[in-house]
């Protein structure tokens, strides 16, 4: 038996190896990009996360976190932030302070309230779908712990906890410190899926933090008869899967190009 060297087949095999190498490189790049998605989410949403400043009736002060829902100044935060409030205003990430923030709507059962300030052209967040939230899901939280504005933390949805009163709490592992009540909890697509409001503190307790699902924010908006503008739908895939799909498409194109370059000329028509 004689083995005949075919340069076209040899080059094709080398091309296959190169294509698979490229695919693996793109796959690894996609993984790295997915890991750095917190940076993109933070950059996109930090302008819409604000500090809620409360001047209390007894002369004290209190602060929390909120985030803007509409360009004309509708803001959501935790209701307990406003306890004993005499006057409330908002501080934006650039240091600008608003006039008085007034209560627009509050939830009778959950720790949420809508505020309204006089404003135009504010940056806003995008609300996500509460039905897609699952334990183990990666999250990003932006808040103002101890008045340290735009602090970014990350973690997981630890569990979904139904309550006896019919409400639902999202247990999260992202750190939540004082003044972070009202912080938005983002999914991998940069959409708000919850609002941080409570932590279990004390000896032996670590990362026992809770958020209310975004459905409660939507209920408040409906109560106040506010309709948010419809945003373009993003494919329901996380960045890692999108990179895998794109890498495979590139690899397929390279394989087709090599095939036609080395074999198509031999085809008969």
Tokens of 178: 């004082």
Whole-number Å distance between alpha carbons of 144 and 93: 10
Burial per residue of 90-118, b for 16 or more beta-carbon CB atoms within 10 angstroms, e otherwise: bbbbeeeebeebeebbbbeebbbbbbbbe
| Three state DSSP letters for 108-152 | CCCCCEEEECCCCCCCCCCECCHHHCCCCCEEEEEECHHHCCCEE
DSSP state of 188: T
Residue 130 CB contacts under 8 Å (≥ 6 apart), including other chains: 193, 213, 214, 215
Tokens 């735009």 sit on residue? 150
Whole-number Å distance between alpha carbons of 123 and 144: 17
Query: What are the residue numbers of the active site?
Result: 80, 111, 181
């Amino acid at each position: 038996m004689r083995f005949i060297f075919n340069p076209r087949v040899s080059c094709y095999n080398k091309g296959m190896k190169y294509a698979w190498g490229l695919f693996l490189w793109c796959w690894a790049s996609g993984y790295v990009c997915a890991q750095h998605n917190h940076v993109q989410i933070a950059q996109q949403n930090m302008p819409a996360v604000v500090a809620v400043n409360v001047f209390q009736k007894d002369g004290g002060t209190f602060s929390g976190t909120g985030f803007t829902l509409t360009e004309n100044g509708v803001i959501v935060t935790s209701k307990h932030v406003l306890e004993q409030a005499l006057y409330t205003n908002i501080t934006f990430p650039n240091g600008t302070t608003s006039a008085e923030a007034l209560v627009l709507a509050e939830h009778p059962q959950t720790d949420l309230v809508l505020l309204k300030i006089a404003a135009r052209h504010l940056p806003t967040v995008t609300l996500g779908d509460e039905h897609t939230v699952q334990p183990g899901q990666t999250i990003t939280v932006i808040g103002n712990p101890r008045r340290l504005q735009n602090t970014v933390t990350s973690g997981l949805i630890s569990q979904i906890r139904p309550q006896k009163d019919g409400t639902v709490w999202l247990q999260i592992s992202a750190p939540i410190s004082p003044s972070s009540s009202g912080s938005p909890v983002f999914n991998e697509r940069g959409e708000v899926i919850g609002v941080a409001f409570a932590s279990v503190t004390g000896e032996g307790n670590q990362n026992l933090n809770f958020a209310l699902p975004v459905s409660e924010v939507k209920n408040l908006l409906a109560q106040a008869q506010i309709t948010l503008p419809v945003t373009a739908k993003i494919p329901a895939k996380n960045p890692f899967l999108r990179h895998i799909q794109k890498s495979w498409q590139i690899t397929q194109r390279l394989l087709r190009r090599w095939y036609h370059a080395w074999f198509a000329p031999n085809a008969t028509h």
